[in-house]
């Protein structure tokens, strides 16, 4: 079989090249909110588990802000011409934090055994994989059932972290004591977790990338109140506020402080996409004209400027602009209350009340709900706010007991990984608030998504995804709001903080402090 | 202590145990009445999930069993002092609570002592200087602290003393990573304690001050006080020996109530100042529907209330020997 070298020249240059001007030493204090349930990144995909755990564990690849893969634990990879066989060559001389060598056996075990059992999102993608085999200590071969376009974007540390076989094999993964004392290959080792107070990571002296990490210690502080987090940053005790860790209305005040830097980079891989679930099964929201009216009724630019301080981008369709295969020539729903009223007249909307469920994640979402309610009332929709807590929200959305509900989801760089799941009819099932919870059924869309995932090469995928985006924008299964941007606020002494597409989640291996 | 007193205390302890058990059963059903369950919350936080994942979690937590069986398991473990495992941290509930206990007791204990001492003293001074400027000042200050919402006071204190003056730390219990020991560590913890303990204590300080003042003024008008003054006792001796001792009973009742809240009463303060205590643990467990952990904290808090009610009753007899303990 003739092989073509896919990891082109760019990809051969590791993203983590030490910067020679960088200074070594120092401690960084970061906020972590909410306190993660665990740092075992392979079993918990909570945002903060990823933020801390991404510095302890590593994936086979690392992705830059254009989502291109770079070598991490795999030093190179190539694929067969038909896109069905992928060969990974692992970096040699890598050791786990306990001194054991990292080999192909760990890769096969992590992906084929442990993560297949514990990671629902990866499990769906692994359905396309026929076999995973280690041909020698440093080579792993994946055989796919058919070409699977998003395959190259599966190896980020949060999705597919490498976990130590010698610790987990043959144990009950969920109760393994190592979950409390995680052992990875990353730039930082777990040191201490004082529950309710802080998590301490310390420098991995035997890190496999020469000259890294620069920092000696990273402390993650648990500060449960949003206003107190802002105060802690103001007093200088905290160096980094990861995106979303203070209320939006505090952001302008904090960014104006002396010696304070702000960036919206580092969310490209996730591209958090916010929308309103519209229950397609019942009530006014089951009528496409009503759903289109909702799109015209919303003043999304206003919400962006006022609630999000201008950060982010109004979303007009299901695919984020930073995600692959985004189509920029889609028809747009501008703010047009007259059009909304006309559509409501046409369908004969009789003022049946619709309930709006805010997301229970802080002030911004409450206020956003009030804005949307007002927008909808202006065009004559009888909207009522129905508030609940996180558990209640999960319950209501996953049991389809709602009319309109806020949400936002990650896109993971590829529509097959982070978009299809919300629109294909095979993904309609009670019990999860993250699947096709709106209940949209369209056989054409199902088929196109199916074909697009395995179409080869990329031009064919683009064609299909463009068709999908146009059709969804016409049908409005959900009302898209914004591509969210969460500004990371930090003390300007911290250098090179964000240098990958997952941002703060693997930031501290390369960051350094200017003395 | 007489046999009768010991019998009384023993009887109260047995009754208390029964009350605790009934409370535990009641709590068990109460928190399950809230929408959602721990598996859904964890799956929801994970951002991706399927039925298999939920099923795995419920099996792991024992939530796939019928409710009466879950209750049976919980109660039979509880009577053996086993509170189960937290769903989220996968740690024994008892260990987690004990881990947080010192921080909470330090905070609430400091606030308790502070409010009792300052409150009673302020009340006495106000009563002595009845209708003078010191009385007005104390009464007005007490009213303000009584009426101010705790979280607002906490935020303002943090802004003023931490951000503006930069005197005191705004969060946490000690300086992390400084590796302090001995006296240095003690000073460090005390510095961290000042703001949260003061904010938490102010409300009760105000309550004690008002209560002591009123009670003192009432007692002063009694005949035995006139007798004491007529006997030629010094005013201070009259105040502390005769008036205060008799005026203290309502304060003891109130102190008993406050002491019952030593475990779970500092949720707001712990949240604002990121104090690693039990109140926060409980608050988070509530939102995460971590049933075992929440029930565990409830259990310990209710045990504290039962215990302090008993202690209050015993203290009554010490303060006022005319009161006897009997069934």
pLDDT tens per residue, range A187-216: 999 999 998 899 999 999 999 999 999 999
Distance CA(A142)–CA(B261), nearest Å, equals 59
| pLDDT, position A377 | 96
Task: Please tell me the distance in Å from A13's CA to the nearest CA on chain B.
Answer: 32
* Distance from C-alpha of A86 to C-alpha of A68, rounded to nearest angstrom: 17
Of B48, B50, B171, the CB nearest to A223: B171
Chain A, residues 98-127, CB within 8 A of chain B, namely 120-121, 123-124
Tell which phi-psi region holds residue A236, choosing left (phi > 0), alpha (psi between -120 and 50) or beta. left
Residue A150 forms part of a structural domain = yes
Question: In degrees, to the nearest 5, what angle opens at C-alpha A391 toward C-alphas A385 and A396?
Answer: 50
* pLDDT (mean) for B60-71: 88
Q: Say yes or no: A172 and A278 in one domain.
A: no
Rounded Cα–Cα distance for residues A473 and A196 (Å): 45
State whether residue B84 sits within 8 Å of chain A by CB.
no
Determine the Cα angle at A372 with ends A370 and A378, to 5°: 105
Q: Compute the average pLDDT of residues A71-76.
A: 95
With CA atoms as reference, the chain A residue closest to B174 would be: A197
Q: Are B108 and B263 in contact (CB under 8 A)?
A: yes
Gap from B297 CA to chain A (nearest CA, Å): 15
Count CA within 13 A, CB hemisphere, residue B281: 31
- A277 and A173 share a domain? no
Best of B37, B38, B48, B101 to mutate (most A CBs within 10 Å, chain A): B48
**Within a domain: A355:** yes
Q: Is the peptide bond before B19 cis (omega within 30 degrees of 0)?
A: no
- Residue A281 CB coordination number (10 Å): 13
Q: Is B37 on the interface with A (CB under 8 A)?
A: yes
Report yes or no on A215 lying in a domain: no
Q: Is residue A497 part of a domain?
A: no
Minimal CA separation from B306 to chain A, in Å: 28
Average pLDDT over residues A432-451: 93
The reply to whether B164 touches chain A by the CB within 8 Å rule is no
For residues A425 and A316, membership in a common domain is answered with yes
Question: Taking Cα atoms as reference points, which of B119, B91, B108, B321 lies closest to residue B216?
Answer: B119
Question: Is residue B281 within 8 angstroms of chain A, CB to CB?
Answer: yes
E strand or H helix at B138, and its extent? helix B133-147
Supply the CATH number for residue A289's domain. Answer: 3.10.105.10
> What value does the mean pLDDT take over residues A135-147?
95
Instruction: Supply the CATH number for residue A132's domain.
Output: 3.90.76.10
Taking CA–CA distances from A197, the nearest residue in chain B reads: B276
Q: Is the pLDDT of residue A308 over 60?
A: yes
A87: left (phi over 0), alpha (psi -120 to 50) or beta: beta
Kindly report the number of other CB atoms within 10 A of residue B269's CB atom: 26
Residue recorded with tokens 């005790």: A237
Task: Give per-residue burial for A127-166: e unless 16+ CB within 10 Å, then b.
Answer: ebbeebebeeebbbebebeebbbbbbbbbbbbbbbbbbbe
Stretch 302-331 of chain A: residues touching chain B, C-beta under 8 Å: none
pLDDT tens-digit profile of A287-300? 999 999 999 999 99
Distances A196 to A185, A248, B89, B188 between C-alpha atoms, Å: 26, 24, 12, 18
Contact (CB<8Å) A225/B272: yes
Interface of A with B in 282-301 (CB under 8 A): none
B166 touching chain A per CB within 8 A:
yes
Residue A20 clears pLDDT 80, i.e. is over it: no
What local confidence, expressed as pLDDT, does residue A3 receive?
41
Residue A185 lies inside a defined structural domain of this protein:
no
Cβ contact A197–B273 (<8 Å): no
CA distance B161 to chain A (A): 10
List all residues of chain A from 196 to 255 with a beta carbon under 8 Å from chain B. Answer: 196-198, 200, 217, 219, 221-225, 227-228, 231-232, 234-235, 237
Q: If you write DSSP's letter for every residue of A329-365 in order, what string do you get?
A: T-------HHHHHHHHHHHT-----EEEE--SS-HHH
A213 preceded by cis ω (within 30°)? Answer: yes
pLDDT at A5: 41
Helices then strands, counting H and E runs in chain B, come out as 14, 0
B54 band by pLDDT with thresholds 50, 70 and 90:
confident
Say which of A175, A197, A234 has its CB closest to residue B173.
Answer: A197
Mean pLDDT of B229-233: 88
Tell me the two tokens of residue A166: 């010698």
pLDDT at residue number A315: 95
d(C-alpha A8, C-alpha A6), whole Å: 5
Angstrom distance (rounded) from CA A438 to CA A288? 13
> Residue B53 and residue A38: Cβ atoms within 8 Å?
no
- CA-based nearest residue to B84, from B74, B72, B76: B74
B52, A120: Cβ pair inside 8 Å? yes
Identify the pLDDT of residue A323.
93
Is A431 near chain B, with CB under 8 Å?
yes
How distant is the Cα of B240 from the closest Cα of chain A, in angstroms? 43
- Write out chain B residues lying below 8 Å of A226, CB-based: none
Residue A413 contacts residue A269 (beta carbons within 8 Å): yes
The average pLDDT across A445-466 equals: 93
| Domain that residue A394 falls in | 273-483
Neighboring chain A residues of B60 at a CB cutoff of 8 Å: 174
**Best interface-test mutation with B: which of A31, A217, A235 has the largest number of B CBs within 10 A?**
A235
Omega cis (within 30) before A457? yes
One-character DSSP codes across A293-324:
HHHHH--HHHHHHHHSTT-SEE--SSS-TTST
Task: Give phi and psi for B262, each to the nearest 5.
Answer: -55, -30
Percent of chain B that is helix, strand, coil (3-state, to 5): 75, 0, 25
Q: CA-nearest residue of chain B to A39? A: B89
Helices B93-128 + B278-287 axis angle, to 10:
120
Q: What are the domain boundaries of chain B?
A: 3-93, 96-319
Among A134, A167, A132, A128, CA closest to A148? A128
Under 8 Å between Cβ of B48 and A120: yes
Instruction: Please say if the pLDDT value at position B119 is more than 90.
Output: yes
pLDDT at B237 over 80: yes
Please give the share of chain B, as a percent, with pLDDT higher than 90: 36
Indicate the CATH number for domain B96-319.
1.10.3720.10
CB contacts, 8 Å: A406 with chain B: none
Would you mind telling me the total number of residues written for chain A in this entry? 515
CB contact under 8 A, B43 and A394: yes
Query: pLDDT band at A253, cuts 50/70/90?
Result: very high
B50 has a pLDDT exceeding 80: no
Is the Cβ of B277 closer than 8 Å to some Cβ of chain A?
yes
Q: How many CB pairs under 8 A join A and B?
A: 162
Model confidence at A4, pLDDT cuts 50, 70, 90, reads: very low
Give the total number of structural domains in chain A: 2
Q: How close is the nearest chain A Cα to the Cα of B204, in Å?
A: 23
Closest-CA residue of B relative to A28 is B177
pLDDT above 60 for A9: no
CA angle A457, A463, A466 (to 5 degrees): 135
Q: By CB neighbour count within 10 A (0-12 exposed, 13-18 middle, 19+ buried), where does B81 fall?
A: exposed
**Is the separation of the CB atoms in A287 and A346 below 8 Å?**
no
ipTM greater than 0.90: no
Tokens 């002030």: give the residue.
A363
């Amino acid at each position: 079989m003739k092989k073509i070298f896919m990891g082109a020249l760019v990809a051969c240059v590791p993203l983590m090249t030490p910067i020679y001007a960088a200074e070594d030493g120092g401690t960084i204090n970061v906020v972590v909110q909410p306190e993660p349930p665990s740092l075992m990144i392979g079993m918990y995909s909570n945002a903060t588990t990823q933020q801390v755990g991404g510095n302890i564990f590593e994936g086979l690849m690392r992705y830059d802000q254009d989502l291109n893969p770079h070598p991490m634990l795999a030093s190179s990879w190539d694929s067969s011409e038909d896109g069905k066989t992928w060969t990974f060559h692992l970096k040699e001389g890598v050791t786990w934090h306990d001194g054991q060598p990292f080999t192909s056996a760990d890769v096969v075990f992590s992906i084929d055994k442990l993560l297949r059992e514990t990671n629902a999102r990866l499990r769906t993608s692994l359905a396309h994989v026929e076999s995973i085999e280690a041909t020698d200590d440093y080579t792993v071969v994946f055989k796919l059932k058919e070409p699977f376009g998003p395959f190259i974007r599966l190896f980020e540390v949060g999705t597919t972290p490498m976990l130590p076989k010698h610790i987990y094999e043959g144990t009950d993964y969920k109760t393994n004591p190592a979950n409390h004392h995680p052992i990875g290959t990353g730039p930082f080792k777990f040191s201490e977790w004082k529950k309710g107070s802080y998590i301490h990571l310390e420098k991995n002296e035997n890190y496999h990338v020469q000259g890294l990490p620069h920092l000696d210690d990273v402390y993650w502080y648990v500060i449960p109140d949003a206003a107190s987090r802002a105060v802690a940053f103001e007093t200088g005790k905290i160096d980094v506020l990861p995106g979303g860790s203070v209320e939006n209305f505090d952001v302008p005040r904090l960014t104006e402080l002396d010696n304070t830097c702000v960036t919206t980079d580092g969310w490209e891989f996730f591209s958090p996409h916010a929308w309103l679930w519209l229950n397609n099964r019942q009530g006014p929201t089951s009528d496409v004209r009503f759903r289109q009216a909702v799109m015209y009724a919303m003043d999304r630019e206003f919400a962006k400027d006022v609630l999000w301080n201008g950060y982010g981008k109004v979303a007009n369709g299901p695919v984020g602009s930073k995600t692959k295969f985004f189509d920029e020539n889609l028809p747009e729903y501008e703010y047009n209350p007259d059009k909304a009223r006309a559509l409501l007249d046409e369908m004969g909307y009789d003022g049946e009340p619709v309930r709006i469920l805010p997301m229970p994640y802080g002030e911004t979402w409450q206020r956003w709900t009030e804005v949307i309610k007002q927008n909808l009332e202006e065009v004559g929709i009888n909207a009522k706010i129905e508030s609940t807590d996180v558990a209640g929200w999960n319950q209501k959305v996953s049991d389809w007991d709602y009319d309109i509900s806020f949400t936002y989801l990650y896109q993971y760089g590829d529509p097959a990984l982070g978009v299809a799941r919300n629109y294909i009819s095979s993904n309609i099932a009670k019990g999860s608030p993250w699947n096709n919870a709106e209940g949209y059924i369209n056989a054409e869309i199902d088929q196109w998504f199916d074909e697009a995932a395995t179409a080869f090469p990329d031009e064919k995928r683009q064609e299909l995804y463009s068709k999908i985006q146009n059709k969804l924008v016409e049908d409005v299964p959900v009302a898209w709001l914004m591509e969210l941007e969460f500004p990371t606020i930090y003390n300007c002494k911290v250098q090179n903080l964000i240098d990958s597409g997952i941002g703060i989640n693997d930031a501290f291996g390369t960051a350094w402090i200017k003395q | 202590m007489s046999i009768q007193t010991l019998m009384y205390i023993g009887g109260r302890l047995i009754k208390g145990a029964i009350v605790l058990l009934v409370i535990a059963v009641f709590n068990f059903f109460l928190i399950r009445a809230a929408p959602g369950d721990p598996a859904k919350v964890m799956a929801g936080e994970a951002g991706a999930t399927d039925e298999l994942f939920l099923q795995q979690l419920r099996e792991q937590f024992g939530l796939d069993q019928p409710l009466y069986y879950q209750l049976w398991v919980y109660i039979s473990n509880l009577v053996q002092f086993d509170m189960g495992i937290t769903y989220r941290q996968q740690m024994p509930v008892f260990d987690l609570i004990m881990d947080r206990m010192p921080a909470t007791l330090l905070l609430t204990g400091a606030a308790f002592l502070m409010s009792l001492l300052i409150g009673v003293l302020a009340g006495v001074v106000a009563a002595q200087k009845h209708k003078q400027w010191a009385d007005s000042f104390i009464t007005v200050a007490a009213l303000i602290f009584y009426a101010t919402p705790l979280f607002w006071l906490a935020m303002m204190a943090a802004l003023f003393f931490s951000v503006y003056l930069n005197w005191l730390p705004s969060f946490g219990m000690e300086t992390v990573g400084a590796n302090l020991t001995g006296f240095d560590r003690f000073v460090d913890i005390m510095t961290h304690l000042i703001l949260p303990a003061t904010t938490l204590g102010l409300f009760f300080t105000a309550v004690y001050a008002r209560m002591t003042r009123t009670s003192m003024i009432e007692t002063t008008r009694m005949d035995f006080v006139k007798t004491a003054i007529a006997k030629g006792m010094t005013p201070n001796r009259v105040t502390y020996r005769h008036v205060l001792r008799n005026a203290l009973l309502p304060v003891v009742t109130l102190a008993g109530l406050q002491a019952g809240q030593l475990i779970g009463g500092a949720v707001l303060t712990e949240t604002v100042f990121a104090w690693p205590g039990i109140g926060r643990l409980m608050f988070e467990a509530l939102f995460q529907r971590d049933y075992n952990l929440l029930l565990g904290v409830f259990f310990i808090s209710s045990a504290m209330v039962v215990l302090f009610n008993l202690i209050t009753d015993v203290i009554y007899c010490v303060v006022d020997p005319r009161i006897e303990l009997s069934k």
